[in-house]
Chains A and B, each alone.
Chain A
Amino acid sequence: MNLAATLVLDVTAAGFVALALAIAYRWYRDRGHAQGLLAISLIALGIVAALGRFQDQTHPNVVLSLVTIVAFIASAYLVLLFGNEFIPLGRRVRLAADVLLGVSILSSIVLVTVFQRGPQPVMTALGFEIVGAWAILIGLPIVRFWLASNSLPSVPKARLRFLSFGFAVLIAILVVDVVGGSALQSPGAIIITQLLALATVPLIYVSFAPPAILRRIWRMSEEKNVRAAMQDLLIFSPTRELMAERAVYWAVRLMGATAGFIVDADGKVMATSGIDAVEAAELRSSAGANPTGAAGSIVKAPLHLTEGEGSLAIIAGRFTPVFGTDEITQLNAYAVSVSAGLQRAAVTERMTALEKGKTQFLNLASHELRAPLTVIRGYVSMLKNGLFGDLNDRGHKASDVMEAKVSEMNELIEEMMDAARVEEGGLTLRLIECDLRDIVREAVDAASPQLDASHRIALDLPDRRIRVKVDPDRTRTIVTNLLTNALKYSPAGGEVRCQVRSSRSGVARVSVSDEGLGIARDDMATLFTRFGRIITPETEHLRGTGLVLFLSRQLARLQGGEIAVVSTPGAGSTFTLQLPVAGVAGPPLGTDRDGEWTTPHEDAVGDQRSAPMRR
């Protein structure tokens, strides 16, 4: 044997001893961890490597030989036991492994005690038996690790693969060595096999204690998925529970943990992954300690919720790395996003419930109000018609007022029901092609009863008909609303101008202008919101639900139209209803709904400044 081969043999042995020492040290530091069996196995392997170099090849020491061979077999058996820890073996397989261990130890004793004195074939057979047993005892768990790794998150997957691969190379070397026999005793062959064996040292070490950089690299493939899932997680999770379930699933995957759970601010376990809620509840209060008895560790990251502090915890399993600062930092960053997501889900849930409740209330209230109102309205009209005898003048006056108030109330109820329906999306329209001028005429008729001596409606219609495809009843309601509003908010009287025009681009416009109070710039934003009444000293005596404009705009939009407003405080306002002209493929009306919408110049009245309007 030349010097180079000896040197390589020494270096390889030293490599395995170093591996054993490093692993012994790590194991000493994290004794709670479940990798003791693997650590002892690797230490045993280091002993084999070291003793092999101290053995005198020509006159072997019997005790040394025995220790070497037993350590060698034990290293394989311990790997098997380690595998058994998290992928339990069948009872028969376990028994067979035990028998194999016993036979091998017996063989080694025989081999050592009768060494060089027994017949050569027997010795060779015993040698084969020992190496075969070693290969089987190690081969079984590493094949199982490899198969199991497929379903694992990327970190444990990579670690199991490194371990499997490292041991597989060792098996291959041993088998080739034994089968090749003296043919492979040339210095060159020794150098190659020893270098290969040396190469497994970092592989095995990395699988046992992966450095942070490697863990981060392994996690990268997982992070890509997490990022994709994160958007889904934070934006589309409809409920907190679902959001928590997903968050804990991804936390476990990302960190390569075996289990995890999320605790709500009130201390309840909200979601778990890999363990059940009862176990999670037991683990809730303990942090860092090893609760299940099996090795592992818990890392908790706080979740800052409005109701208090919750936590996101991940649990290391038997073959997950002891979490380092890298994982803790990652988990904390992740927890911040999860907190935000949970907050958002909670707000959305609350909003949805409120919104639904409000709509339901509106609907119910309206229906329930209709029944008594029917009776009141009926009797008032009968009273007025003299069904119960003639009324005196004061009685007539009273019944007139009652009738007016009852129909006012009726209209409010109808508005409320329509508003509720618009929000539910339950409002259906009957679109018919008709002349916009007819609709406006009817609307003016409908608004006329509200005229008093100080008001006048000036109607300006074009000579040619304007064909629009709309729901005539709804459109008439919109125009009537705009007219009534104009009358209502010009208490000093004056002219309300109603102008109907169509543009060549296919937009029909009904603009209603008054000389009334006008609307302040700041109030524009609330003008079209539900219940968005603008209360000023001039208007506070006026009644209304604040639904009229909201509803009118919703109705306009449902028909492909829009309502816009320009106003000068103190000088009056112009509300313009735009509708698409039938049969003309005009431009979309307005702009997108969240954008800014400015009334076109042709609609601007006088010197009024055009007020940009935001929703």
Chain B
Amino acid sequence: MNLLDDWTASWLLWFPGSVSTFGAGQHDPAVLPFRLDAGRRAAVHVLLIEDDPSIADMYRMQLEHDGYRVSVASTGEVGFASVSGDGPDIVLLDLLLPDRSGFEVLRQINERLPGHPPVVILSNYGEPSMLDRGRSLGAVEYLVKSRVTPADVSGLIPSWIEQSRTEEHEDS
């Protein structure tokens, strides 16, 4: 059964302000990154759409350490292709990409891939208008990169996935 189909386009929104409970210890990274459904222990697949290699490498290091499978796309176009082709479980999306803005990528994902995996925006822009735009485009979370560590993000991934699944169940 393809998990992608189970996702719906509506997500519970979780935004800064409510994120006062950061900490890697909150979720057990050794257990949660593994999908237990269907009896297979497949690593959760994180797609990182990020053009800055130093940031991408750093996140890959942390996420792989925590047991995730990580793929990195350095442009919006490759990113979109990976979302539709590789079927990641969650997408971490940068906004400043060499070929287009992350918002455009997100809009494209919304339009062409109904039931796509949850998308979390990771950006260096923290303007309220940007947050609003991210929210209106259905991002599960909008984080300012300099305010969080890879461990924070890694620790939150299971809850984002959980959250979108709960949404989906409530919907159906």
Given contacts A417-B126, A426-B127, contact A374 B145 (CB under 8 A): yes
Number of A-B residue pairs, CB cutoff 8 Å, is: 54
CB neighbours of A367 from chain B (8 A): 124-125
Given contacts A379-B58, A382-B58, A385-B24, contact A371 B149 (CB under 8 A): no
Within 8 A of B (CB), among A363-414: 367, 370-371, 373-375, 377-379, 381-382, 385, 387, 410, 413-414
Complex contact A370–B146 (CB within 8 A): yes
CB neighbours of B145 from chain A (8 A): 370-371, 374
Within 8 A of A (CB), among B95-140: 124-129
CB neighbours of B58 from chain A (8 A): 375, 378-379, 382
Q: Is A596 an interface residue (CB 8 A)?
A: no
CB neighbours of A387 from chain B (8 A): 61-62, 65
Residue of A nearest to B20 (CB): A442
Contact of A428 among B54, B55, B59, B129 (CB under 8 A): B129
Complex contact A382–B61 (CB within 8 A): yes
Within 8 A of A (CB), among B15-57: 17, 24, 52, 54-55
Bound CA–CA A386/B61 (angstroms): 12
Task: Report the minimum CB–CB distance from B28 to chain A (whole Å).
Answer: 15
Task: Report the minimum CB–CB distance from B124 to chain A (whole Å).
Answer: 4
Within 8 A of A (CB), among B121-172: 124-129, 144-147, 149-151
Given contacts A370-B124, A374-B124, A387-B65, contact A382 B151 (CB under 8 A): yes
Complex contact B54–A375 (CB within 8 A): yes
Contact of B149 among A378, A413, A417, A430 (CB under 8 A): A378
Q: Is A438 an interface residue (CB 8 A)?
A: no
Given contacts A387-B62, A387-B65, contact A371 B151 (CB under 8 A): no
Bound CA–CA A375/B61 (angstroms): 12
Q: Is A473 an interface residue (CB 8 A)?
A: yes
Complex contact B151–A381 (CB within 8 A): yes
Given contacts A382-B150, A417-B126, A473-B17, contact A371 B52 (CB under 8 A): yes
Residue of A nearest to B17 (CB): A473
Contact of B146 among A379, A385, A413, A472 (CB under 8 A): A413
CB neighbours of B150 from chain A (8 A): 378, 381-382
CB neighbours of B124 from chain A (8 A): 367, 370-371, 374
Bound CA–CA A84/B124 (angstroms): 73
Give a binary string over A338-370; 1 marks a CB under 8 Å from any B CB, 0 the rest: 000000000000000000000000000001001
Within 8 A of A (CB), among B54-80: 54-55, 58-59, 61-62, 65
CB neighbours of B17 from chain A (8 A): 472-473
Bound CA–CA A379/B62 (angstroms): 9
Complex contact A428–B151 (CB within 8 A): no
Bound CA–CA A126/B150 (angstroms): 112
CB neighbours of B62 from chain A (8 A): 378, 382, 387
CB neighbours of B59 from chain A (8 A): 378
Bound CA–CA A382/B57 (angstroms): 12
Report 30 cross-chain contacts, Cβ distance below 8 Å, ordered by A residue: A367-B125, A370-B124, A370-B144, A370-B145, A370-B146, A371-B55, A371-B124, A371-B146, A374-B55, A374-B145, A375-B55, A375-B58, A377-B146, A378-B55, A378-B59, A378-B62, A378-B149, A378-B150, A379-B58, A381-B149, A381-B150, A382-B58, A382-B61, A382-B62, A382-B151, A385-B151, A387-B61, A387-B62, A387-B65, A413-B146
Give the A-binding residues of B (Cβ under 8 A).
Answer: 17, 24, 52, 54-55, 58-59, 61-62, 65, 124-129, 144-147, 149-151
8 cross-chain pairs, A with B, having the tightest CB-CB distances, nearest first? A381-B149, A374-B145, A370-B146, A370-B124, A374-B146, A428-B128, A378-B58, A375-B54
Sample of 5 further A-B pairs with CB below 8 A, known A371-B55, A378-B55, A381-B151: A374-B146, A375-B55, A387-B61, A387-B65, A473-B17
